[in-house]
Amino acid sequence: VDLFRREYAHLVSALTRVLGPSNIPLAEDVVHDALVSAMHAWRFGLPRDPKAWIIRAAHNRAIDIIRREQRRRSFLPELATSTALTDTIDAALAPAAEGASQLAMMFAVCDPGLSRETHVTLILRWLCGLSAREIGQAFLVDTQTIDRRLHRGRTRLRELGRLPDVESLPDIETRRDSVLRSLYLLFSEGYHGSDPQDPVRPFLCEDALRLTGLLLDAKATAHPDAHALAALFCFDAARLPTRLDEHRVFVPLEDQDRSRWDRARIERGLMHLARAATGDHMSRWHLEAGIACEHAIAPSIQKTDWDRIVAFYQLLAQQSWSPIVALNRALAVAERDGLDEGRRELIALAGERKLSRYPFYWAARADLERRADRHAAARDNYERAIALARSPAERVSFERRIESMRISQGVSGPGTRHSSSC
């Protein structure tokens, strides 16, 4: 399935580059046909090189369709004669062009004239190979909304005669920022997303990492910010294996088995962080990577460098304050300075509209109350978090906390000292 999604992304980008952005639907049809024929042909066993098989099938299908359509549509001049056609398609589908065509597609869809939501939608469709229905599920949006965004994207791209190479884009800086932000949203959706049945989806994180790698492979886009984002992804992805337990409920950081974190990923993160540290520019990705790094390399919560984490959040809040950043800083302050200081910061955020509907705000309030042994206040806050929970995994993890307080109160007696702990 991953091979199909990835080849879909690769081939749609490569064919759009030769057919022109006005022919995206045609490119999608060619790739769709190639994948369907692969599914039929592979019923009784996989070919030796499945990827090459799919590319070959798309190659043949593209040539058939272009020949048939040549009278009715206008194609780029290099597709006019039959030998030129074969050579052009060969070159476009060659392994050497694989990264460049997807990079060109990614920068084309992150058009300043389109909204952020549309950027992410188009990346999920054309660079991750998800269907409109799957994208709708991933973001809790109905399929019509996704179709409308795809339509806006196609219309905008049609205005381009060809998919430009990234080096030649006049607004490459603006687009790069949009690409990085979209990849961050994609990763975030995989790390902790909105699908109620499946809140952690590592494949979206892997795709975000793969697409960030495309930026780092090309000279024009291998910016320190892209390295910082790659570092952030590596540190957070390293922790994915321990975030859910066998019942698919969230495990608190303190109980996550750090020996199961992916060491190789953390090493790669450190390498990217070092390469991000060129120039004098400190983006929000640098700061978030710094925070994620402290968590990834710490041996325990107690031995985590909360000083540094609070300092990074401080800078992040100065640079791009948001209620979410303030919430996370408050929790880091609670670890560094004590529960009361953290609690004070959280209460100061009570007026934020966005947070009042955010389950983790109430869970954070509840957590500090619980650890300060104010169980009634903790329970009230957990109940608000439960009412707002977006998935069973979130809800059950909050219910367990209430349950833990009930049990620790209900059965206390001489000889048994128990406390719930974070």
Partner 1 sequence: VVTDGPYAESKDLVTGSLIVEAASLEDAIDLARTCPTYEFGGSVEVRPPGLIGSDAHGRKARRRVLYGAG
Candidate segments 34-42, 60-68, 152-160, 401-409, binder of partner 1 by CB under 8 A:
401-409
Applying CB under 8 A, among 63, 132, 211, 364 the residue interacting with partner 1 is 364
Nearest to 27 by CA among 106, 92, 112, 95: 92
Task: State yes or no: residue 367 binds partner 1 (CB under 8 A).
Answer: yes
Provide the 10 A C-beta neighbour count for residue 203. Answer: 13
Amino acid in position 158: R
| Span 143-202, contacts to partner 1 by CB under 8 A | 184-185, 187-188, 191-192, 194
Neighbouring residues of 87: CB distance < 8 A, sequence distance ≥ 6: none
- 120 scored as a contact of partner 1 (CB under 8 A): yes
Q: Where are the alpha helices (DSSP H) in 95-158?
A: 98-109, 116-122, 132-139, 143-158
Residue 78 vs 117, nearer CB to partner 1: 117
Q: Which of 214, 339, 349, 378: binder of partner 1 (CB under 8 A)?
A: 339
State the minimum distance, in angstroms, from the CB of residue 275 to partner 1.
21
List the interface residues with partner 1, window 2-61 (CB under 8 A): none
Dist. CA 13–CA 21, nearest whole Å: 9
Residues 313-332 that bind partner 1 (CB under 8 A): 324, 327-328, 331-332
Comparing CB distances to partner 1, the nearer of 169 and 244 is: 244
Please give the angle made by the CA atoms of 314, 338 and 295, to the nearest 5 degrees. Answer: 55
* Strand, helix or coil for residue 47: coil
Interaction of residue 369 with partner 1, rule CB under 8 A? no
Site for partner 1 in 245-274 (CB under 8 A): 245-247, 249-256
Can residue 285 be called a binding residue for partner 1 (CB under 8 A)? no
Distance CA 36, CA 42 (A): 10
In the block, residue with structure tokens 């983790």:
360
Distance of CA 295 to CAs 50, 108, 172, 181, Å? 39, 35, 33, 22
CB of 109 to partner 1, least distance (A): 15
CB of 76 to partner 1, least distance (A): 35
**Nearest-angstrom CA–CA distance, 368 and 53:** 57
- In the list 278, 338, 348, 350, the residue contacting partner 1 (rule: CB under 8 A) is 338
Q: Which is nearer to partner 1, 171 or 254 (CB)?
A: 254
Nearest approach in angstroms of CB 353 to partner 1 is 14
